[in-house]
Chains A and B, each alone.
Chain A
């Protein structure tokens, strides 16, 4: 088995696994139950995206995509911070919390 062939196979596996990971993350986002769970899932989604970009760089041979990974590594957490802030802010406005039907306890 040549290295190229192995790499091709490995990449197919990688992409499939990464896709599966995406799906699982989406399931967590759908299921929740809390805001924090969903934010965590988005955070992980961005991490997986970094991996995906790396794998894509390998599969195409265009290494320039790595810069996108750098940027994502740096700014990806910005959205998590902002959302965490959002979570915190809800405490101070507890009088009219989400009427999501998911239960107040679950959806904090």
Chain B
């Protein structure tokens, strides 16, 4: 939509939303949120950007095809599940590494990678849907 006001605001709202989506993703394990919701928010951000500047601009902005992003997410999630193979545990078993760095417990786990995979899948696919609809004129 070719309006000055919208075009001026849209990129910043998009950036803000992506930021918010990452926040929602990362803290989802402890508060409402997670990969799905984060992904949906990020996809909304991309949709807004797309509506303002067109599909081509979005494609340039995200480097890779959104469907590929979704594929990456799925592979990530699946590989996160396979990680437990090396720990002698069943598929999709959560593995936690909890180092304490300067008094702060850092939870590192394949579960987080899994959730990030979810996030990518949702972002990629929903964005792909919105973009392909947007450009289907």
A residues near B (Cβ < 8 Å) are 64, 67-68, 70-71, 74-75, 78, 81-82, 84-85, 88
Contact = CB atoms under 8 A, between A and B. Distances in A.
B137 to A, nearest CB: 9
A67 B13 contact: no
Contacts of A82: 47, 51
Interface in B1-32: 1, 6, 13, 16-17, 20, 24, 31-32
Contact of A75 (B6, B32, B41): B41
A63 B41 CA distance: 20
A78 B48 CA distance: 7
A84 B52 CA distance: 12
Given A70-B20, A85-B51, A78 B44 contact: yes
Given A64-B31, A81-B51, A75 B44 contact: yes
B33 interface: yes
Contacts of A67: 24, 31-33
Contacts of B44: 74-75, 78
Contacts of A74: 13, 16-17, 20, 41, 44
A75 B17 contact: yes
A64 B31 CA distance: 7
